[in-house]
Structure formats: C-alpha cells, structure tokens
Structure 1
Amino acid sequence: RIRLFLSTQAAQVLVQSLVISRLDYCNSLLAGLPLNAIRPLQMIQNADNADNMVFTSKPNPINPTSHVYCVLCTYDHITPILSSLHWLPVKFRIDYKLLLLTFKALNGLAPMYLSSLLTRYNPPRSLRSQNSGLLVVHRIAKSTKGGRAFSHLAPKLWNSLSDGVRGSDTLTQFKCRLKTYLFSKAYT
C-alpha cells in the first residue's frame, strides 16, 4: 500500500534498509559454503516483494512525475533488475565482506587476532611475485571444514583479485575497486 506514496529512490532505500541489511548481517559466517546452502538467502533477495517494492508496474496517481522503470512479470529474470539496482548476489556479498576484512587486517584496521591469521608471501629467493601483495594459502587438514576457515579462504580470495584491486592504498579506494571487480564478475 505504501508503494504508491514513495518515489523509486525512496523505495530502493527502504528495501535496502529492511531486506538487504538482514542479508548482510553475519553473512561472512557463510563464506565457503556450497551454493545450495546460500540459495535460500539468494531467493530472499530475488523475492517478488523486494523488487516489486522498487519497481512498480502501476501508474502512480499521487506522484505522476515518477517513471515506470520496469514491468515485472512472474517469469521475468531477476538478474538484470539486480544489476540495475547495483546489488551484488549473495555469494558475492559474502566475498565482498570477507575481502574487506582481509584488507583491514593487512593494513592494521582490524583486530589483531584476524591479522595474525594472514601471512604475506615472501619467497626464499628474488621473484617477480614477491611485490605483488599475495598471501600464503595455509594447508588444511579437512577440505570441507578447513576450507571455510578465515586463514584459508581469505588468502585464497585475496590472491584471486586483480593487481589493481589488491594494490589499493585506502579503504575507500579498495571498496570502490572491489565492488566494481565483483560486479563485473557477477554480471558478465
């Protein structure tokens, strides 16, 4: 009922504050889980009530200046809509949060217990890769549970980033580059 009184931008902010914030709460605990375990969260993000709240197919009699951006049908794909809203899929949101913690840990902005779990790559002899900002991926005993540990997953994700993203100087610059990198990876 409230949708008729909201502009598209206000509806987007409302959905981000009510739905997306719940998806982001403690989602870094889900890092490394198989996609079928993350699927229920992705279905919440894809839910009709969230995107129908932002995109309306009915003309707005109270605010006639608002434009109809999209007409949603039951069988429309949600990917172009999420892309136009600049919302990352849940798996990439989890990676974003984990990589953000990794950047903070490497630059002294995170608690010491996280920083102690990461080891910078220092080869025994002079190699081109020694100044690339890579991390040592620790060996794990069990691939199912150990592969989800921060000490294993964070370096693995960090090393998969491009040099431009890894070489960011500030947190703001890193966030911007990382979101762009993950956005292109998610929607291409």
Structure 2
Amino acid sequence: MLGPGSGDQITPTLIHLHWLPVKSRISYKALLLTYKSLHAHAPQYLSDILHPHAPPRNLRSSDSGLLTTPRTKLRTFGDRAYSVAAPTLWNALPAEIRNIPTLDAFKRALKTHLFAKAFGP
C-alpha cells in the first residue's frame, strides 16, 4: 500500500507499464473526443461546439487544422469547459499529429506524444 508522499515511487511503474499520469490521461480523452468530433465519429452536438480557425486574411496557418478558442470570463471554471479546453489542447498538438488520417494511428501518436511530454524522452 502506498503511503503519503510516495508518488515518486510509482513513476517507474507507470513508465514500465506505459501508462499515462492522470492529467495526461484526461488530455488524451479530451483530444480523442476532439479528433472524433472533427472526423464525424462523435455526436453532432460536440461537433457543433468546435469551430475551425479562420483568420481574417490568408495566412500560412489557415490550413493547419487549428481550432478557434472562445474567450472566457472565469479563469477557474470557464477554461475547463469542453468548448475551451478542447481547442486549447488541440492547438497545442504538433501539426503532424493533428493531421493523421486514421483513428488508430492518431491514438498511437497521441499517446506516444503525451507519454514523452510527461516522462521526458
């Protein structure tokens, strides 16, 4: 049984099992749902929340698959809403992961990316 302050002892086990920490797992689930929403594999009401980024003039980033992040008034709760969190996480992904065409390949690349981000190279 793990006692208080023993969080450092579980890290090698997480790495060995290739499990993501809780915060990364939440990001994984949100990004997976975002991918499904953008590729018509999720309920329509979720797809309606996400809007492609459309700059006022033609820029190189116009075709990069970014999403518009709505502004919020409340930093503590407003930023946790799916309509804000999903585009924020999505836009932080590298373009090569955002543009993966198949769901299985996206899952693999996303988990590898989040794992490397959480535990280092």
Which residue of the partner structure matches residue 82 of structure 2?
Answer: 150
Structure 2 distance, partners of 1:154, 1:76, is 29
Letter in 2 for 1:120: P
User: Match for 2:52 among 99, 111, 120?
Assistant: 120
User: Match for 2:93 among 128, 146, 161?
Assistant: 161
Residue deviations 1:132-180, cap 9 Å, x none?
Answer: 1000000112111111100000000000001111011011011000000
Distance change >3 Å, CA 81–CA 136, structure 1 → 2: same
Residue deviations 1:26-65, cap 9 Å, x none?
Answer: xxxxxxxxxxxxxxxxxxxxx64xxxxxxxxxxxxxxxxx
Deviation at 1:77, TM superposition (A): 2.2
Deviation at 1:119, TM superposition (A): 0.4
SS of residue matched to 1:104: helix
Written as runs of structure 1 = structure 2, the 5 A alignment for 1:7-86 is: 48=2, 77-86=9-18
Letter in 1 for 2:55: P
Distance change >3 Å, CA 92–CA 76, structure 1 → 2: closer
User: Match for 2:22 among 86, 90, 94?
Assistant: 90
User: Match for 2:31 among 94, 99, 113?
Assistant: 99
What is the alpha-carbon root mean square deviation over aligned residues?
A: 1.6
Relative contact order (alpha carbons < 8 A, sep ≥ 6): 1 or 2 greater?
Answer: 2
Q: Which runs of 5+ in 2 are unaligned?
A: none
Which residue of the partner structure matches residue 177 of structure 1?
Answer: 109
- TM-score, normalized by length of structure 1? 0.60
Letter in 2 for 1:173: A
Structure 2 distance, partners of 1:75, 1:99, is 26
Distance change >3 Å, CA 134–CA 81, structure 1 → 2: same
Q: Which runs of 4+ in 1 moved over 6 A?
A: none
SS of residue matched to 1:126: coil
Rg bigger for which structure? 1
